[in-house]
């Protein structure tokens, strides 16, 4: 008989009572589920139970849960001294060490103990669910149930279908995740599942930008926070997570996908890991930390410079109009002739291309030219930070005049070296493209991809919604320009993106 997840007497077994196991036990007990806790380490399960009860007690003290809920949830937490004590469980979740052989051996032991209808779920974040299930007599009842740490706060769980997982098992685990107060999304068993797979664009492309000397890590973080709307920049994120965690994930997903260029890691992160420069946990990562607090960095002053006049490229007329308004508001003469005068500060607005290419294509003097990223907006209600990009020949006077102009209304300005795709364009295009390819591979539904990413990674939008907001044709243009410039298949557009851009439809549009 299929397991009735919404039945009040549901019994959940948990093997492994570390941080993940404790978190799963807490939300299960709060959801009215009887929880059996087992750990091979003597005393660990009992200690974990007390820790969970202590957490619930603090929630009750703060008024976040009623006192009676504390008592009821605590009563549902039971410790079993041996694996055989899990025999009555209808679902068992393992949250033990990330070792394929150890997990296989555990599931083989459990099959000799549990009932015929019991579901076996693994909380693995990096191993193949199909491989784990292959060791079992009944692989169809094995699936992934991947929570994120800290479990009570990260309201997302991935239900991972192995190659032979039965539909009833997936349906039961989706219902279980919902019952425990989480958003449950369904995904096929592929490296990284949804969240860790979708996260490849943010950090790896930022590392590539750093490796090319386009901008330092602080500037990249400022742009992604203040212009693109992320809660933290990619280098802040790596420092928070620790390179001892994030670099192995980058390497693992890259190799599991047989060196797919989109996921190519960076030698920069590998070197820093080897040197023990891991992030907050070591007091030094990309940033330095004192007492766990990031040490502030000086912000460059706005130059005291002024352009005699400004000429704006008409490549994107809608952007040109806004840029002329900004220049006029700053009291600078705006030239409207087809070609600039010999004294004009020339402003170009490339999409995916670099400043050099824009100047050469339009016949402009690269010494007097600066590019500005207009993709995320420039006027009222636009980003809090604007990004300027110089050519290798842009004079210091031209650079400073452009910086002063675009900071005149109080906006923050980042000045970077020449790059196909600026900073935000590059990183966002990679995020969108990888999300599109997850959809193209039918790893998960478009809606589940966006739900998983916004909850699991904290992005301001899911990758497909981000693509819609930026304009699918704009994202396609950025990728095609970058692929042309670099000759790197890393930037090849996903068929999902290309077809929907050409049709003018939402990237969230699923196939009929």
443-455 pLDDT, tens digit per residue, is 999 999 999 999 9
Judge contact between 320 and 338, C-beta under 8 A.
no
In the set 123, 125, 128, 266, the catalytic residue is 125
Distance CA 475, CA 505 (A): 13
Cα distances (angstroms) measured from residue 119 to each of 7, 10, 112, 285: 15, 12, 13, 42
Span of 4-13, 346-355, 397-406 with lowest mean pLDDT: 4-13
Domain assignments of the chain as residue spans, ordered by start: 11-189, 197-294, 309-416
Question: Across residues 472-490, what is the average pLDDT?
Answer: 98
In the set 128, 146, 182, 205, the catalytic residue is 146
Question: Across residues 86-92, what is the average pLDDT?
Answer: 97
Q: Please confirm, yes or no, whether 197 is among the known catalytic residues.
A: no
- Residues of 138-171 as b/e, b for ≥16 C-beta within 10 angstroms? ebebbbbbbbbeebbebbbbbbbbbebbbeebbe
Tokens encoding 282 = 């070591």
What pLDDT, on a 0 to 100 scale, did the predictor assign at position 381?
62
287-311 pLDDT, tens digit per residue, is 999 888 998 888 889 999 999 999 9
Residue 274 has pLDDT above 70, yes or no: yes
Judge contact between 347 and 370, C-beta under 8 A.
yes
Q: How far is CA 503 from the centre of its chain?
A: 27
Residue 1 has pLDDT above 60, yes or no: no
Question: Across residues 90-106, what is the average pLDDT?
Answer: 97
Residue 315 has pLDDT above 90, yes or no: yes
Residue 309 phi/psi, 5-degree rounding, is -160, 165
Residue 458 has pLDDT above 90, yes or no: yes
Domains 11-189 and 309-416 alike in fold: yes
Q: Please confirm, yes or no, whether 146 is among the known catalytic residues.
A: yes
Question: Across residues 219-240, what is the average pLDDT?
Answer: 96
Residue 503 has pLDDT above 90, yes or no: yes
Q: pTM to 2 decimals?
A: 0.94
Reduce the DSSP state of residue 450 to 3 states and report it. Answer: helix
Q: How far is CA 43 from the centre of its chain?
A: 37
Residue 312 phi/psi, 5-degree rounding, is -120, 130
Closest CA to 408 of 391, 386, 390, 389: 386
Q: How far is CA 480 from the centre of its chain?
A: 23
Distance CA 185, CA 453 (A): 11
Under the banding of pLDDT at 50, 70 and 90, the label for residue 6 is confident
Under the banding of pLDDT at 50, 70 and 90, the label for residue 124 is very high
Reduce the DSSP state of residue 441 to 3 states and report it. Answer: coil
What pLDDT, on a 0 to 100 scale, did the predictor assign at position 208?
98
The CA dihedral of 438, 440, 445, 448, to the nearest 10 degrees, is: 30
In the set 123, 196, 414, 494, the catalytic residue is 196
Tokens encoding 66 = 């009623």
Mean pLDDT computed over every residue of the chain: 96
Long-range contacts of 335-340 (CB under 8 A, 24+ apart): 335/309, 335/310, 335/311, 337/311, 339/311, 339/363, 340/311, 340/364, 340/368
* Helices 424-440 and 446-457, packing angle to 10 deg: 130
Burial class from Cβ neighbours inside 10 Å (0-12, 13-18, 19+) for residue 292 reads: exposed
What pLDDT, on a 0 to 100 scale, did the predictor assign at position 8?
72
In the set 158, 205, 219, 226, the catalytic residue is 158
The strand order across the sheet containing 345-348 reads 333-335, 309-312, 345-348, 369-372, 385-390, 412-416
Closest CA to 118 of 151, 140, 146: 140
52-61 pLDDT, tens digit per residue, is 999 999 999 9
Q: Please confirm, yes or no, whether 226 is among the known catalytic residues.
A: no
Long-range contacts of 292-300 (CB under 8 A, 24+ apart): 294/236, 294/239, 297/218
> pLDDT higher for 493 or 378?
493
- Owner of token pair 């050099």: 356
**Fold exhibited by the domain 197-294:** 1.10.1040
Q: Please confirm, yes or no, whether 158 is among the known catalytic residues.
A: yes
Closest CA to 83 of 41, 50, 33: 41
* CATH code of the domain occupying 309-416: 3.40.50.720
Cα distances (angstroms) measured from residue 433 to each of 60, 177, 249, 454: 44, 28, 19, 16
What pLDDT, on a 0 to 100 scale, did the predictor assign at position 3?
77
The CATH homologous superfamily for domain 11-189 is NAD(P)-binding Rossmann-like Domain (3.40.50.720)
């Amino acid at each position: 008989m299929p397991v009735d997840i919404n039945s009040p007497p549901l019994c959940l077994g948990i093997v492994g009572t570390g941080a993940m196991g404790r978190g799963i036990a807490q939300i299960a007990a709060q959801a009215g589920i009887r929880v059996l806790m087992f750990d091979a380490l003597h005393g660990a399960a009992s200690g974990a139970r007390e820790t969970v009860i202590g957490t619930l007690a603090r929630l009750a003290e703060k008024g976040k849960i009623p006192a009676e809920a504390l008592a009821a949830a605590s009563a549902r937490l039971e410790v079993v001294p041996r694996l055989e004590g899990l025999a009555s469980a209808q679902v068992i979740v393992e949250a033990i060490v990330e070792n394929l052989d150890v997990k296989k051996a555990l599931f083989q032991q459990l099959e000799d103990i549990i009932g015929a209808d019991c579901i076996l779920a693994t909380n693995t974040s990096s191993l193949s669910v199909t491989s784990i299930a292959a060791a079992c007599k009944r692989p169809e009842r094995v699936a992934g149930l991947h929570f994120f740490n800290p479990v009570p706060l990260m309201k997302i769980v991935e239900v991972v279908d192995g190659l032979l997982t039965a539909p009833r098992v997936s349906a039961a685990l989706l219902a279980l995740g919902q019952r425990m107060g989480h958003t449950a999304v369904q995904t096929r068993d592929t490296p990284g599942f949804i969240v860790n797979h979708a996260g490849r664009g943010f950090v790896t492309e930022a590392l590539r930008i750093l490796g090319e000397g386009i901008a330092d890590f602080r500037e990249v973080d400022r742009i992604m926070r203040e212009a693109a709307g992320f809660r933290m920049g990619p280098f802040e994120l790596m420092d928070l997570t620790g390179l001892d965690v994030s670099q192995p994930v980058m390497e693992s997903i890259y190799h599991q996908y047989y060196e797919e260029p989109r996921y190519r890691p960076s030698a920069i992160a590998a070197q820093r890991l080897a040197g023990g420069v891991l992030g907050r946990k070591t007091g030094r990562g990309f940033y330095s930390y004192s007492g766990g607090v990031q040490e502030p960095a000086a912000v460059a002053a706005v130059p005291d410079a002024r352009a005699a006049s400004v000429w704006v490229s008409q490549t994107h007329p809608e952007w040109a109009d806004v840029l002329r308004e900004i220049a006029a508001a700053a009291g600078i003469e705006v030239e409207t002739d087809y070609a600039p005068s010999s004294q004009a500060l020339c402003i170009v607005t490339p999409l995916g291309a670099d400043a050099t290419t824009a100047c050469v294509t339009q016949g402009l003097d690269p010494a007097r030219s600066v590019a500005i990223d207009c993709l995320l907006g420039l006027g009222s209600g636009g980003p809090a930070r604007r990004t300027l990009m110089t050519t290798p020949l842009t004079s210091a006077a031209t650079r400073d005049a452009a910086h002063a102009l675009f900071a005149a209304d109080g906006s923050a300005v980042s000045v970077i070296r020449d790059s196909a795709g600026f900073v935000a364009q590059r990183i966002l295009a990679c995020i969108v493209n990888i999300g599109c390819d997850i959809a193209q591979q039918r790893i998960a539904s478009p809606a589940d991809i966006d739900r998983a990413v916004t909850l699991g990674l904290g992005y301001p939008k899911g990758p497909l919604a981000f693509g819609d907001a930026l304009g699918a044709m704009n994202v396609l243009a950025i990728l095609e320009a970058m692929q042309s410039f670099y000759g790197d298949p890393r930037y090849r557009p996903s068929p999902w993106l290309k077809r929907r851009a050409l049709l003018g439809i939402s990237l969230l549009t699923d196939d009929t």
